[in-house]
Chain A
Amino acid sequence: MLSMHPTFPIERSLPMSRLLLLIAMFAAFTMTAPLQAQDASSTPLQDALQSVQADVASPSRSTVPQVLAALLQADAPGTVDFLRAWGDRAVYVRDADGLFFYAQDAPDRMLTLIDIDSGASVATTSSRDLSQIRPNAGVRREINAALVSFELTHPDPARRIAALETIARSPDADQIIPLTAARDAETDTRIIGRMDRLLDLLNARFATDTATRIDAIEGLRGDINTEARRVLNQTLQTRAEFASEIPAGTNVARIRTPGEDISLVDAYATLSDAGLAPPRPGRNAIRDALRANVVDGEVGGVPVHLLTTDERRREAYRALQEAGIVAPLVTEADMRAAVAEYVFFDAYLEADPVVTDAARDSLDSTRTAISFWQFASLSLDALSLASIFFLAAIGLAITFGVMRVINMAHGEFIMMGAYTGYVVQTVIPNYTTSLVIALPLAFAVTFAAGVVMERLVIRHLYTRPLETLLATFGISIALQQLAKNIFGTQARPLTAPDWLAGAIQVNDVVSVASIRVAIFVMALGFLLMLLYILNRTRLGLEVRAVTQNPGMAASMGINPDRINMLTFGLGSGIAGVAGVAIGLVAQVTSEMGANYIVQSFMTVVVGGVGSVFGTLAGATLIGFLQKGIEWFNPANTLAAQTFMVLFIILFIQFRPKGIVALKGRAAGD
């Protein structure tokens, strides 16, 4: 078992520039070290490794650069392959003697050891006598960076691309030369493009020649990609400083005026921390000083029991101060005077103002574009949320909107659909096939459930809407618990097929998960389908007829019972399909329906009962509103939901019929 001590030496990342120095150091070291014997040894790599055994066996980001330098310097045959294997966690150390091996799985939890020098199988031992060396991500990054120059010329293009990504992740001044060389030798145009891009970024950050650097920085003007902005921001890093006057050659980013850009207390604290001003005794310091100087029940002449106000305490403290026992109080005027002696400012770490000015220019030029794309990204998120709300509510728009039946178990139909999807997925392992089967099956299951519920319960309560509400609540409670009994309380994932699992990346600011796009398309599909059914089919005609005047409809030969049943089934079935869709972005739990029910009702009510377009408007309004509020207060998603509900309550006060209010006889009531 490898172990790491709880306190790591604090050290910042060790870039390649320092590596050179280390290589030089180790070169001197290896002259005298046992490595000298390597020529004679048959196991040169093992020997080289043994000289840094502890740091190879339990690598840390702070020690790995030295190890890499030593190994690359020793340059035993197979070093590069070993380093690759090390990073890929294919190296094992034998606990008994600390030797390193590659290994292959053997039966019965045994491992076959492979000598790292000869590549020959050496022995088969229990996995318990070996420790797998698992370098962490930070160490792996260092290893990859050290291998970049080897990988850049690797025949496998995939390896070359991986090497480029390593450069993108840990850019370093030393990479410019090998990268330039590799770019000249490269033939794959895709890779050349990426290499040019990285060279630009490296030059913008590290080029020693100011002109090249400024050129590169100018080249990043208006570039909204994250890596470009990262380089510019890195160039623009600042450090807060203060001095009696700004030293010559300082590249000042901005001056902080005490009392405006930096509070007086903070500015003074900076000074007193630096030992340039006496520390200011705060309330606690005064209390502690008094506590330490109680004499015969009095402090500075003030009886202890009277020290219950700040005035009295300060009075006692002044007495102590006059006696010279304690540090003097610092008044605001004192602080002002002390602070006035100094200038507080932020200085760029980059000394050359030409470079920072160019970088600031380039960065500022991206601002408008970034705001635009951020707005676009937020709008897409809102659209995605709206389509989920719409899907959740559309079934309700039919049962509640058209039939005026309050179905509080609607959420449970959503849940039922999602669980149908989950069950199908456990039976059929192929995610695409299972999704294709789950969607119609979810519809069928919830359609049936809806019809059964309509026949058994709701039919008897058409004249009593409040009772319908309560009865469906009962059903909702029962269904929820039933789902818990069957599927357990654990949240179940519905996994999207691979072709839906990624994201559509517009640029570095805007990307939308494909599954959300699919849901949007699905919501759109349902909208069109529903409009078609209601307005263009016989069923739709009959539904509208029954809704508006059941008696008249019946006398025209329509069977209201059948129509009610079908309509309710349709609404429930759509809820089931929505459940599958929602399960793909969120999680399938027995309580998922309850999370959507109040929201769905509000969507329908806000949009305007009885209109599919109303529901669409309601969902859009709520989705955009929620994202909008979230944008104002990104740290607290809950606040967004609260204010949204409050808004809806108020909205209904002023527009009780919703956004799309039906007019005339259709409005009913």
Chain B
Amino acid sequence: MPFDIPRTTATPAASKRSFLHENPSVLWFMGLLGVFTLGVTILSEGFGIGLISTNLVKILGMTLCLCLIAIAMDVVWGYCGILSLGHFAFFGLGGYAIGMWLMYARTEINIRDSLGRGTIPPTELEVSEAVAAQIFGVVGSSDLPLIWTFAHSLTFQLAMIVLVPGLLALIFGWLAFRSRVTGVYLSILTQAMTLALSLYLFQNDTGLRGNNGLSGLQNIPGALHVPQSVISMWFFWASAFALGAGYLLFAWVVAGKFGSVIRAIRDNEARVRFLGYNVEGYKLFVFTITAVVSGIAGALYYPQAGIINPAEIAPIASIYLAVWVAIGGRGRLYGAVIGAAFVSLLSSWLTGGGAPNIDLGFYRIVWTDWWLVLLGLGFVAVTLFFPKGIGGLFDYLVRKKP
């Protein structure tokens, strides 16, 4: 495969110090992320002088989560060569896992409060029935589905954020890699997986409220009276921390010998197999760990968005993810971050009615209408002419320096 990506030549004896030394981009990235976080904090309504609205803080926080899943996508695609068109499924599952607890716990607080004001205190069964009626009343049911059995437990649902996407990726990956499904077949298969999952979740019988999804996720149980301006900052910090940690983790993963092997798999899978490596094991590991990170990103994203529903998992979402990474530049982590941040912010600016419409006299360009056309064609152009994406520009900058 004709990828032209600068490769770090990691030595087997690379120590922690030399890892950062070998990867100056990691330090740069951490520094910029820190400065950005500090800057937003100072300008925020919750903790600073209030120049940045809570709305914008939420958008920025969500963008950080998208950057996190984008670097996961970059590792699995840009480094390991698996074009997964299903990573948003894991993102969504993480969101659902935390959403169940948020929704259950918040409703339970309300219910206990209201039932507690009655003449006689409620039994546990009455509480859980009332909670179920509250949550599922809107979808014409009043029973708590089986999968909500442990929804009251934060620990359990936190574990689910990691376990559900991880296990799904493990099983799916094991099946797919075992039978040597590769290339475009794998892409279509992953797409089928996310399609099946979203169709499954669209059903009411699934017990996750079908099309309605889980909502009101921005209200954090135990902090119901904390203003959103403060909560939004908590999540912003958490997202920034997660992005930083994820970046460090993946930079470390791809820098070492492991990184060399997965890049080799990308470039020529058969040769790596002949050299005696367990190709399937490597691929499965990368697929699973990126799925877990995607799940974490989703768990941080949806409490900021406030609602999750199956449409979020539809195949098109994962395709956009690939588009971000491709535009940002595959095979470099900061490229994925740039791509995700740039495209998603530009997209919400243009479709949010932010950009001024351009009047050509004979025709008025309304960005809401033309943004997707532009994105689509721009993406074709990037694929054809700039396979390195925006990140490729940094090569010129670095090269120009003596």
Contacts and interface: CB of A to CB of B under 8 A. Distances in A.
A–B contact, 8 Å CB criterion (strictly below): yes
A639 B181 CA distance: 26
B120 A653 contact: no
Contacts of A470: 83, 322-323, 326, 379, 383
B122 to A, nearest CB: 7
Interface stretch (B34-42, B172-180, B332-340): B172-180
A594 interface: yes
B99 interface: no
B206 to A, nearest CB: 9
Given A652-B181, A652-B185, A474 B119 contact: no
Interface in B159-176: 172, 175-176
A290 B118 CA distance: 12
Given A310-B123, A469-B187, A646 B196 contact: yes
B183 interface: yes
Contacts of A304: 119-121
Nearest to A467: B383
B120 A307 contact: yes
Interface stretch (B142-150, B273-281, B353-361, B368-376): B368-376
Contacts, number: 148
Interface in A485-513: 485
A636 interface: yes
Contacts of A479: 376
B119 A291 contact: yes
Contacts of B369: 481, 484-485
A482 B378 CA distance: 14
Given A464-B1, A638-B202, A481 B196 contact: no
Contact of A406 (B176, B184, B319, B380): B184
B120 A605 contact: no
A405 to B, nearest CB: 10
Interface residues of A, number: 55
B259 interface: no
B384 A654 contact: no
A73 B280 CA distance: 90
Interface string B193-218: 10110011011010000000000000
Contact of B370 (A287, A481, A605): A481
A354 interface: no
B377 interface: yes
A469 B188 CA distance: 10
A636 B205 contact: yes
A307 B380 contact: no
Contact of A605 (B188, B202, B316): B188
A299 B120 contact: yes
B387 A478 contact: no
A558 to B, nearest CB: 26
Nearest to A649: B192
Given A308-B121, A481-B369, A474 B184 contact: no
Contact of A457 (B184, B196, B384): B384
A305 B121 contact: yes
Nearest to B125: A310
Contact of A474 (B83, B175, B192, B377): B377
A604 B338 CA distance: 36
A51 interface: no
B184 A477 contact: no
A303 to B, nearest CB: 10
A477 B125 contact: no
A237 interface: no
B141 to A, nearest CB: 14
Contacts of A465: 183-184
A442 to B, nearest CB: 22
Interface in A282-322: 287, 290-291, 294, 299, 304-305, 307-310, 313
B315 interface: yes
Contacts of B370: 481, 485
A300 B23 CA distance: 75
A620 to B, nearest CB: 19
B2 interface: yes
A641 B199 CA distance: 7
Contacts of B322: 470, 473
A471 interface: yes
Given A466-B183, A598-B195, A654-B179, A471 B379 contact: yes
18 contacts: A305-B121, A307-B120, A307-B123, A309-B123, A465-B183, A466-B183, A466-B187, A469-B187, A471-B383, A474-B383, A478-B372, A485-B373, A649-B172, A649-B192, A652-B189, A653-B176, A654-B179, A656-B180
